[in-house]
Amino acid sequence: MVAYRSALVLAGYVAWTWIGSAAYAAEPGAILYCQDAMITTPTGGCIPPGRFQSETQEPNGAPGTNMDNKLAARVADDFVVPPGEVWVIDAISFFGYQRFSSYTSSPFTLARVIVWDGDPSQGSPNVLLDVVTPLSPANSPFSGIFRTMYAECSLSRPVFELPSTISPALTLPAGTYWLGLAAEGLVSGASTTPYVTTTGQPGTVRGHYAVRLWEGVWSPVNDPKARQDVPFCLEGTKRSAYGKGDLNCDGKLNNFDIDPFVLALTNPTGYAQKFPDCDRMLADCNGDGAVNNFDIDPFVKLLTKP
């Protein structure tokens, strides 16, 4: 289920953190990962009331990078599924503009998302997902953000949200992955992604910097003054890679889980310190959403079942 973020952009610039997830905590479709910080200037200047400006930061010289599918261009950026977690991704969103389009109606006609199990600019990682989604003004809303150069007043780069539903969902175990992005729109060859941007930073990079495919050659996404990341969000559900009762997260359920179970029950902080890659909720053996003494009997049953 794709949850549009545009209304949230308009609702709360203040809550917009750089990874963005805090702003979305209340959404029904859980945000697995989000790097969509772009707003540098709340409403003001030449930007219409209630809209926002995403201004390149000095000394940068480019507002974005071409990612047009018709030119076989791609951008790709990394994300990490942490140890002990499994992510089931059912929606992916990214952002784009076609210069001089109207902000009242999206020019985008297609979104393409690719997931690799490694850096596509290094060797040949496996393609785990390659999904093309038709877009229209109805399903690619204006984000509320205008991308501009530093100290430029311009409405020529309205940024749209480009969502894809992933069905069947993509299930990923712990590891580092790369998300490839491309789009098409009414103006052939003009689809561009803005960069993740935070005030005062010439480059805002999380993990590895983004890479781009242009005329068949991969290279870093440079401003060219500083390396850049590109904005995107992943939605879905996450679960533990381990089974109920496997409190030491070794993939087995046995007596070595007894002490960790007791620790999870009696000392959540101590448990988190001793097993940072595990999930204390694995102790919720009766499945009622809480970890407490009512889980002891079900835990013993799990442990002793033939």
Beta pairing, strands 142-148 & 31-35: unpaired
Interacting residue with Ca ion among 55, 90, 229, 235 (CB under 5 A): 229
Lay out the site mask for Ca ion across 40-79 (x = CB under 5 A, - = otherwise): -------------------------------------xx-
Stretch of 59-67, 137-145, 185-193, 281-289 lying at the interface with Ca ion (CB under 5 A):
281-289
Q: Does 279 bind Ca ion (CB under 5 A)?
A: no
Closest contact distance (angstroms) between CB of 246 and Ca ion is 4
d(CA 38, CA 11): 15
Q: Does 288 bind Ca ion (CB under 5 A)?
A: yes
Counting residues that bind Ca ion (by CB under 5 A) gives 16
Stretch of 26-34, 64-72, 167-175, 229-237 lying at the interface with Ca ion (CB under 5 A):
229-237
Q: From start to end of 97-209, where are the E strands?
A: 108-116, 127-134, 142-148, 158-172, 175-185, 192-194
Cα–chain center distance at 145 = 18
Closest contact distance (angstroms) between CB of 289 and Ca ion is 7
Of residues 47 and 81, the one with the C-beta less far from Ca ion = 81
Q: Does 207 bind Ca ion (CB under 5 A)?
A: yes
Interacting residue with Ca ion among 58, 250, 259, 297 (CB under 5 A): 250
Q: Does 252 bind Ca ion (CB under 5 A)?
A: yes
Closest contact distance (angstroms) between CB of 300 and Ca ion is 13
Q: Does 248 bind Ca ion (CB under 5 A)?
A: yes
Of residues 90 and 284, the one with the C-beta less far from Ca ion = 284
With the C-alpha atoms ordered 240, 175, 90, 145, is the resulting torsion angle positive or negative? positive
Q: How far apart are the first and last CA of the chain?
A: 40
Stretch of 165-173, 174-182, 223-231, 268-276 lying at the interface with Ca ion (CB under 5 A):
223-231
Of residues 77 and 223, the one with the C-beta less far from Ca ion = 77
d(CA 38, CA 235): 19
Q: Does 36 bind Ca ion (CB under 5 A)?
A: no
124 burial level (CB within 10 Å; 0-12, 13-18, 19+): exposed
Closest contact distance (angstroms) between CB of 282 and Ca ion is 9
User: What's the token pair of residue 204?
Assistant: 């805002």
36: left (phi over 0), alpha (psi -120 to 50) or beta: alpha
Q: Helix, strand, or coil here: 264?
A: helix
Contact (Cβ atoms closer than 8 angstroms) between residue 86 and residue 241 = yes
Q: Rounded to whole angstroms, what are the CA distances from 215 to 74, 176, 188, 225? A: 10, 26, 16, 21
Beta pairing, strands 192-194 & 64-66: antiparallel
Interacting residue with Ca ion among 212, 246, 265, 282 (CB under 5 A): 246
Q: Does 198 bind Ca ion (CB under 5 A)?
A: no
Footprint on this chain of Ca ion (rule: CB under 5 A) = 77-78, 206-208, 229, 246, 248, 250, 252, 257, 284, 286, 288, 290, 295
